[in-house]
């Protein structure tokens, strides 16, 4: 079953540029991957530039072929046409956009602080992202 989410980056003007994510959106999965692999402004911008995400980390492509290493599986790689990023004017609209796609979590990267924050869409509060201990 999918745990939908959005991945966003805060822009200088307060807007949020984001993409949809489909599988494994829980902080214990997507949150850990984002904080570990996408921890700079450049890496987050590259992730979002790829468009909507099926899976943040997999070793299997759309045809079921295994590859060496892991990679992000984008919908555009399947041939989907309308899967680019969207821009919300503020966090309220970002959360609404997340809810509109039945998203359970919204991730927001602050490039100034170089940190991720995760919001639970059921309560609209920030929740911790687990770290490896």
Domain-wise residue ranges, the chain: 5-127
Quick one: average pLDDT of 87-112? 96
- H or E segment at 68? strand 66-74
DSSP classification of residue 63: T
- H or E segment at 116? strand 115-120
Quick one: average pLDDT of 18-31? 96
Range in 61-70, 87-96, 108-117, 121-130 with the lowest mean pLDDT: 121-130
| This prediction's pTM | 0.94
Alpha helices in the chain (DSSP H): 32-37, 41-49, 91-100
Within 8 A by CB and 6+ apart from 79, the residues are none
């Amino acid at each position: 079953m999918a745990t939908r989410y959005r991945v966003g980056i805060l822009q200088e003007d307060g807007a949020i540029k984001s993409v949809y994510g489909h599988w494994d959106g829980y902080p214990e999965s997507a949150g850990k991957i984002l904080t570990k692999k996408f921890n700079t402004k450049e890496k987050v911008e590259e992730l979002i530039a790829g468009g909507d995400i099926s899976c943040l980390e997999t070793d299997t492509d759309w045809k079921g072929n295994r590859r060496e290493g892991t990679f992000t599986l984008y919908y555009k790689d399947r041939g989907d046409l309308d899967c680019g990023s969207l821009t919300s004017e503020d966090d309220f609209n970002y959360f609404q956009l997340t809810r509109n796609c039945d998203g359970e979590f919204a991730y927001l990267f602050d490039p100034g602080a170089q940190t991720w924050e995760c919001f639970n869409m059921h309560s609209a509060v920030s929740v911790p992202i687990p770290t490896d201990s």
